Amino acid sequence: MTKIYVLNGPNLNMLGAREPEIYGTMNLSDIEAKLRQQAPEVELVFGQTNSEDELIGWLQAAFNDSADVILNPAAFTHYSYALRDACAMLKGRSRLIEVHISNPHTREAFRHNSVISGVATGVIAGFGVDSYLLALQQLTRN
Protein backbone atom coordinates (compact mmCIF):
# COMPACT_ATOMS: atom_id res chain seq x y z
CA MET A 1 0.00 0.00 0.00
CA THR A 2 1.39 3.43 -0.93
CA LYS A 3 2.15 5.54 2.09
CA ILE A 4 1.79 9.35 2.07
CA TYR A 5 2.60 11.56 5.02
CA VAL A 6 0.31 14.56 5.60
CA LEU A 7 2.08 16.80 8.09
CA ASN A 8 0.88 19.97 9.72
CA GLY A 9 2.82 22.56 11.68
CA PRO A 10 2.03 24.90 14.56
CA ASN A 11 -1.43 26.23 15.36
CA LEU A 12 -3.11 24.10 12.70
CA ASN A 13 -4.66 22.10 15.56
CA MET A 14 -6.76 25.24 16.08
CA LEU A 15 -8.27 25.20 12.58
CA GLY A 16 -12.00 25.81 12.67
CA ALA A 17 -11.66 28.19 15.62
CA ARG A 18 -8.54 30.06 14.49
CA GLU A 19 -9.12 33.18 12.33
CA PRO A 20 -12.01 31.56 10.41
CA GLU A 21 -12.15 34.54 8.05
CA ILE A 22 -8.72 33.42 6.78
CA TYR A 23 -8.66 29.66 7.38
CA GLY A 24 -12.35 28.75 7.18
CA THR A 25 -14.44 26.73 9.60
CA MET A 26 -13.24 23.20 8.91
CA ASN A 27 -11.04 21.61 11.52
CA LEU A 28 -8.08 19.32 10.98
CA SER A 29 -10.14 16.16 11.58
CA ASP A 30 -12.52 17.25 8.81
CA ILE A 31 -9.53 17.67 6.48
CA GLU A 32 -8.14 14.27 7.46
CA ALA A 33 -11.54 12.63 6.81
CA LYS A 34 -11.80 14.28 3.37
CA LEU A 35 -8.30 13.11 2.41
CA ARG A 36 -9.01 9.54 3.55
CA GLN A 37 -12.27 9.58 1.57
CA GLN A 38 -10.49 10.85 -1.56
CA ALA A 39 -7.79 8.16 -1.51
CA PRO A 40 -8.90 5.06 0.42
CA GLU A 41 -6.22 3.07 -1.40
CA VAL A 42 -3.45 5.11 0.22
CA GLU A 43 -2.07 4.63 3.71
CA LEU A 44 -2.17 8.19 5.01
CA VAL A 45 0.06 9.02 7.95
CA PHE A 46 -1.59 12.16 9.29
CA GLY A 47 -0.03 14.37 11.93
CA GLN A 48 -0.04 17.82 13.47
CA THR A 49 2.45 19.23 15.91
CA ASN A 50 3.40 22.55 17.40
CA SER A 51 6.97 21.30 17.78
CA GLU A 52 9.68 21.77 15.15
CA ASP A 53 11.52 18.82 16.66
CA GLU A 54 8.57 16.46 16.17
CA LEU A 55 7.85 17.70 12.64
CA ILE A 56 11.48 17.06 11.64
CA GLY A 57 11.23 13.57 13.15
CA TRP A 58 8.22 12.80 10.96
CA LEU A 59 10.04 14.07 7.85
CA GLN A 60 12.92 11.77 8.71
CA ALA A 61 10.42 8.90 9.04
CA ALA A 62 9.08 9.78 5.56
CA PHE A 63 12.68 9.72 4.29
CA ASN A 64 13.23 6.27 5.79
CA ASP A 65 9.97 5.07 4.19
CA SER A 66 10.78 6.78 0.83
CA ALA A 67 7.24 8.16 1.13
CA ASP A 68 5.75 11.25 -0.48
CA VAL A 69 4.78 14.14 1.80
CA ILE A 70 2.09 16.81 1.87
CA LEU A 71 3.38 19.46 4.26
CA ASN A 72 1.70 22.53 5.66
CA PRO A 73 4.64 23.98 7.58
CA ALA A 74 2.46 26.84 8.91
CA ALA A 75 4.60 29.63 10.40
CA PHE A 76 7.76 27.45 10.14
CA THR A 77 7.43 28.09 6.39
CA HIS A 78 8.87 31.50 6.81
CA TYR A 79 11.93 30.90 8.98
CA SER A 80 12.79 27.30 9.83
CA TYR A 81 16.05 26.35 8.14
CA ALA A 82 16.06 23.11 10.15
CA LEU A 83 12.73 22.16 8.57
CA ARG A 84 14.05 23.15 5.14
CA ASP A 85 17.08 20.89 5.61
CA ALA A 86 14.79 17.99 6.55
CA CYS A 87 12.68 18.63 3.42
CA ALA A 88 15.81 18.91 1.25
CA MET A 89 16.77 15.38 2.31
CA LEU A 90 13.74 14.01 0.45
CA LYS A 91 14.84 15.44 -2.90
CA GLY A 92 15.41 12.75 -5.51
CA ARG A 93 13.90 10.14 -3.19
CA SER A 94 10.28 11.15 -2.76
CA ARG A 95 8.04 14.11 -3.56
CA LEU A 96 7.11 16.87 -1.17
CA ILE A 97 4.20 19.25 -1.82
CA GLU A 98 4.07 22.39 0.31
CA VAL A 99 0.47 23.40 0.94
CA HIS A 100 -1.18 26.44 2.45
CA ILE A 101 -4.83 27.07 3.12
CA SER A 102 -4.45 30.80 2.57
CA ASN A 103 -2.33 32.48 -0.09
CA PRO A 104 0.58 33.84 1.95
CA HIS A 105 1.57 36.19 -0.90
CA THR A 106 -1.58 38.25 -0.40
CA ARG A 107 -0.87 38.66 3.33
CA GLU A 108 1.75 40.31 5.55
CA ALA A 109 5.22 40.80 4.04
CA PHE A 110 6.86 38.29 6.39
CA ARG A 111 4.67 35.56 4.85
CA HIS A 112 5.85 36.27 1.31
CA ASN A 113 9.03 34.28 1.73
CA SER A 114 9.03 30.51 2.11
CA VAL A 115 12.29 28.80 3.04
CA ILE A 116 10.61 25.50 2.10
CA SER A 117 9.50 26.21 -1.49
CA GLY A 118 13.04 25.97 -2.88
CA VAL A 119 13.28 22.33 -1.87
CA ALA A 120 9.63 21.36 -2.49
CA THR A 121 8.50 19.47 -5.57
CA GLY A 122 5.59 21.90 -5.86
CA VAL A 123 3.52 24.40 -3.93
CA ILE A 124 -0.28 24.70 -3.67
CA ALA A 125 -1.65 27.70 -1.79
CA GLY A 126 -4.80 29.73 -1.50
CA PHE A 127 -7.49 27.13 -2.20
CA GLY A 128 -8.65 26.67 1.38
CA VAL A 129 -8.73 23.06 2.52
CA ASP A 130 -8.87 22.05 -1.15
CA SER A 131 -5.12 22.82 -1.23
CA TYR A 132 -4.62 19.50 0.58
CA LEU A 133 -7.02 17.62 -1.72
CA LEU A 134 -5.30 18.99 -4.82
CA ALA A 135 -1.92 17.91 -3.47
CA LEU A 136 -3.23 14.39 -2.81
CA GLN A 137 -4.78 14.29 -6.27
CA GLN A 138 -1.41 15.14 -7.79
CA LEU A 139 0.47 12.54 -5.75
CA THR A 140 -2.01 9.76 -6.60
CA ARG A 141 -2.51 10.40 -10.33
CA ASN A 142 -1.05 7.74 -12.62
CB of residue 92 to ligand DQA, shortest distance in Å: 25
Interaction residues for ligand DQA, span 61-90 (CB under 6 A): 72, 74-75, 77
Q: Is 50 one of the binding residues for ligand DQA (CB under 6 A)?
A: no
Selected from 13, 38, 50, 102, the binder of ligand DQA by CB under 6 A is 102
Q: Residue length, the chain?
A: 142
Residue 104 touches ligand DQA, criterion: CB under 6 A = yes
Binding region for ligand DQA (CB under 6 A) out of 37-45, 50-58, 81-89, 99-107 = 99-107
Cβ at position 82, least distance to ligand DQA in Å: 16
Q: Which residues contact 69 (CB under 8 A, 6 or more apart)?
A: 4, 5, 6, 7, 59, 62, 87, 90, 94, 95, 96, 97
CA 90 to chain centre: 14
State the catalytic residue, choosing from 78, 81, 100, 105. 100
Contacts of residue 56, Cβ cutoff 8 Å, sequence gap at least 6: 82, 83, 86
The least CB distance from residue 94 to ligand DQA, in Å, is 21
Provide the sign of the torsion angle of the four alpha carbons 122, 79, 5, 36, taken in this order.
negative
Catalytic residue numbers, as ranges: 23, 100
